[in-house]
Amino acid sequence: MTVDIAELKKLAGERAAEWVESGMVVGLGTGSTAVYATRAIGQRLQDGRLHHILGIPTSEQTARQAQEAGIPLTTLDDHPIIDLTIDGADEIDPHLNLIKGLGGALLREKIVAAASRRMIVVSDARKVIAKLGTLAPLPVEVIPFARRPVYDYLTSLGAQVTLRRDRELEQRPFLTDEGNIILDCTFPQGIDDPATLAQTIIAQPGVVEHGLFLNLATLAVIATPDGLQILKRSEI
């Protein structure tokens, strides 16, 4: 049986959108899974199942998708507390700790997640792993001026470090919505102690943020070929 990954992503995104209630401020995640939640929220607004929703997008791309879906947008200046955020992930461990940022939006995603009362992660089952760092590299967002010292620092921590390149213009570095670069860090044995690594990385001047999302997700909606799995960290 061939599994249509896009179908699984759609299933997870649309299921997560069912947790959105009228009157909520909703954090809108970035990526090919989160977009299904954004579209489903838009659909529910259009057909009257939801009203008075305000969205806070985690990237310029998501802002465009939300506008296309007819979701009114707001900002953290006007709504510093978000009721619920729905976002994708690149890895999900059994404690619902995550690696995020392969889509390049980790900085705004983490700001939004940290401002949220609850965060639902949406994914297909391929990204559920026992140990962080075994499937995806850990993205680290860095101010361009600090590229070399941060590269050397991350290497000294045991990471194999790669400068992320622009998807269309390979000779250029990828630039985030904030104009920063991303250094992707592969840890050959995976990440043994994510909390200590998170503190160690953020201590280096020039590092803006990293893709370890620890104790932020409250629930995960995982689409498997056999149906949906809901993983909980705390009651939602």
Interface residues with ligand 5RP (CB under 6 A) are 29-34, 87-90, 100-106, 109
One of 91, 109, 141, 209 is an active-site residue; which one? 109
Distance CA 122, CA 4 (A): 16
Q: Where are the beta strands (DSSP E) in 75-137?
A: 82-87, 91-92, 98-99, 116-124
Q: State in angstroms the smallest separation of the CB of 225 from ligand 5RP.
A: 17
Q: State in angstroms the smallest separation of the CB of 123 from ligand 5RP.
A: 7
What is the DSSP pairing of strand 116-124 with strand 82-87?
Answer: parallel
Determine whether 109 is an active site residue.
yes
Q: Judged by CB, which is closer to ligand 5RP: 149, or 165?
A: 165
Q: State in angstroms the smallest separation of the CB of 213 from ligand 5RP.
A: 9
Q: Judged by CB, which is closer to ligand 5RP: 93, or 109?
A: 109
Q: Judged by CB, which is closer to ligand 5RP: 30, or 85?
A: 30
Residue 85 amino acid letter:
T
Q: DSSP string spanning 161-211?
A: EEEPBPSS-TTSBP--TTS-EEEEEE-TT--S-HHHHHHHHHTSTTEEEES
Residue numbers annotated as active site: 109
